A and B are shown apart, each in its own frame.
Chain A
Amino acid sequence: MSTTMSPPDPSLVEGLDEPLQALDPDGVRHEHELLDPHLTDVDETVLTDLFIDMSIVRRIDEEAVALQRQGELGLWPPLLGQEAAQIGMVRVLDDQDFLFTSYREHALAWCRGVRAEEMLSVWRGTTYSGWDPFERHMATPQIIIGAQTLHAAGYAMATRFAGGGEIAVACFGDGAMSQGDTNEAMVFAAAFGAPVLFFCQNNQYAISEPVSVQTPVPIALRPTGFGIPALRVDGNDVLAVRAATKIAAAHLRAGKGPMFIEAVTYRMGPHTTSDDPKRYRDEAEVEHWAGRCPLVRLGKHLEGIGAPMDSIRAEAKIRADEVARSLRAAITTMAPPPPQALFDHVYTTEDAGLQAQRRQWEQFEASLEPEAS
């Protein structure tokens, strides 16, 4: 076994000075040498579909916040502002590509066919798992920060060993960059050339801590220390994210090992409905990012290319309202699981001890029922 090492390669990362961008905040498309070859399929139809996707998930998000305020959900982590990052990425993946995500990736779930009420059932507290991971090729949301990155790396290792063609995607935020699991996942992925896309949504905050607490250098620089090429893109530019993901996916599918995308975005809302971001960030900053809203940007671009925005907005509204209406109806009538479900699925086969506890509970419950008169 040789002990040769690759020298550090500064060309491993693109976008360090300025995040890669195809659409500026006013929705004006600029030529980009790296991105443009991967955007040749983008036409008015593609842009319209992306706009409608983003409109619907924003509406789901708004409805979820309202449902939480009305006591129908225990908690909700809004994705407001991160629609372009998520939809730009997932819409160019294959259905077989497996997603291992954090808990704010509602747009990914939506694009994988998960119904809104299935997403919200977790936050209503009726289940830990709103959908079948194998049906959607998407693991259910991970709450331990960064833990899912290792699952993605292991999945991709198994894919590589099996000669499979699909890729795994690890989705996480800037806070997860400090977790050992995330860094170990990059070590493993690099060591085994695993086809995993590390997709970091840098939304600038881990609850209250600005990204500077996690790292003094741009996030996208760090994977290069693991030998993993990285792209730093404007995460509020759905086309930049789309192109970057295509570049990364092609790299992965060619067997060239893992890649990393840092999507620079902004969490426009609170960390969760329990959070009060006024305590740790000022209005000017929020205003600045409001001017970079990904949905507004895409709308302006569509207008700029002469798309019929009145009818596009009308269609988006009709579809989003219908999703929200159906979501509200499903959530407000969603029954809790039967109490004995507490005991289900601890193991694939239930042992005597747990069976005894189940029976004890059943007998106790039965004893509380009023006697027939």
Chain B
Amino acid sequence: MSTMTMTAALNAALRDELSADESVVLIGEDIGTLGGVFRVTDALQADFGPQRVIDAPLAEAGIIGTAVGMAYRGLRPVCEIQFDGFVYPGFDQLVAQVAKLHYRTRGRVRMPLTVRIPYGGGIGAVEHHSESPEAYFAHTAGLRVVTAASPQEAYQTLRAAIASDDPVIFFEPKGKYWTKGEVDRAATADLTTAATVLKGTDATLVAYGPMVATALDAAIAASDEGISLEVIDLRSISPIDRHTVASSVRRTGRLIVTHEAAGTASVASEVITGVIEDCFEHLEAAPERVTGYDTPYPPAALEEVFLPDLDRILDAVDRTLGRRNSRSHAPTEVEVSA
């Protein structure tokens, strides 16, 4: 065990995979000499050479597409997309090639790629540097989509992603890159299960990635008012661990889902739909979404308006518990028409 930042934990995971498996190669923009714009790949090129830690031309489709060819030849590529909003030029290669090759070839061609994408906002960045595009990929059969909330989770989930024979999109919460935590390099993870990070009884609060810390803060604040929240870190966005979520809601009867991405056709939509299908009869109140609004990600001066925060989560907790003090208790359609 040692204490490290999330970037150091990710660096350690890459280093350990490069050491353990000669077929692992890294490819991305500025990941070599510079060590990546966030230094996640710091010193790896010096230690493993430019043919295993590859500074790519500035072309995202090229990075993903050449990684496909490398995978054909038995390599296990780990691609870095520099920022969330830069992934779209590589979208075709991801959803039309990487995701489908195993299915297309009836299992003959495996695509053990990992695509690392720093995501999320709250860092005062310029446009295209703060987005949460996970739902696009969660909608695509053939991809696994995971994220991490802590240095420990980052370390073990990235290692599991690289070891997976399926393609994995690994979303790294860049706003949490510099948080520190204990990391056990012997720990392992799977890529499909959620974790209950706080037990509670009154409502289930589902979060992932950068929102897990906010969710835990909200649970502490709620407990001051005598409300006991159960917090689930989804960890895997595709597939969603419906069993863990439904088991919790069966006990609490209430559900709030929070993430930075916009709410429409989102991961929250899917989590809530799953609960309705799995345990509708246990719901005591309508589930709540606390997400980014259905706007483009705004300029930095407005991102605090856009991003869900502790207050908006607590407000949703009040709503789902039917507490009168809900500040956003907007009139419902019925009340308006009456």
Contact = CB atoms under 8 A, between A and B. Distances in A.
A33 to B, nearest CB: 35
Interface string B86-114: 00010011001100001111111110000
B142 A347 contact: yes
Given A150-B93, A344-B107, A352-B239, A158 B65 contact: no
B192 A346 contact: no
B144 A347 contact: yes
A133 B105 contact: yes
A285 interface: no
Interface string A347-373: 111011110000000000000000000
Interface in A136-175: 139-140, 144, 147, 149-159, 161-162, 168
A274 interface: no
A12 interface: no
A117 to B, nearest CB: 16
Contact of A154 (B69, B89, B106): B69
Contacts of B103: 128, 345-346
Contacts of B37: none
B222 interface: no
A63 interface: no
Interface in B16-69: 25, 51-52, 54, 56-57, 59, 61-62, 64-69
B61 A154 contact: no
Nearest to B57: A187
A168 B69 contact: yes
A44 interface: no
A76 interface: no
B51 to A, nearest CB: 4
Contacts of A154: 65-73
Nearest to A132: B108
A140 B68 contact: no
A133 B59 contact: no
B243 A129 contact: no
B141 interface: yes
B108 A133 contact: yes
B259 interface: no
B23 to A, nearest CB: 9
Contacts of B93: 147, 150, 181
Contact of B106 (A139, A187, A344): A344
B322 interface: no
A89 B64 CA distance: 28
A127 interface: yes
A353 B242 contact: yes
A346 B141 contact: yes
Nearest to A150: B65
Nearest to B58: A187
A258 B61 CA distance: 19
A181 B61 contact: yes
A150 B69 contact: yes
A351 B192 contact: yes
A180 B93 CA distance: 11
B74 interface: yes
Contacts of B144: 347
A351 B239 contact: yes
A151 B72 contact: yes
A158 B69 contact: yes
B102 A345 contact: yes
Which of B25, B73, B89, B141 has the most CB atoms of chain A within a 10 A radius of its CB? B73
B182 interface: no
Contact of B105 (A98, A140, A162, A192): A140
Contacts of A185: 62, 65-66
Nearest to B73: A158
Contacts of B96: 144, 147
Interface string A9-51: 0000000000000000000000000000000000000000000
A132 B106 CA distance: 9
B36 to A, nearest CB: 18
B240 interface: yes
B75 interface: yes
Going nearest first, the 7 A-B pairs with the smallest beta carbon separation are A154-B69, A150-B65, A154-B66, A184-B62, A155-B69, A158-B73, A151-B69
29 contacts: A128-B103, A132-B108, A134-B109, A140-B105, A147-B93, A149-B65, A150-B62, A150-B64, A151-B66, A155-B69, A155-B72, A158-B72, A158-B74, A162-B73, A168-B69, A180-B89, A181-B62, A181-B93, A184-B59, A192-B54, A344-B106, A345-B107, A346-B102, A346-B142, A348-B165, A349-B165, A349-B166, A352-B192, A354-B239
Interface of A: 98, 100, 127-129, 132-134, 139-140, 144, 147, 149-159, 161-162, 168, 180-181, 184-185, 187-188, 191-192, 344-349, 351-354
Given A139-B109, A150-B62, A150-B68, 5 more contacts: A151-B68, A187-B57, A347-B142, A349-B166, A351-B239
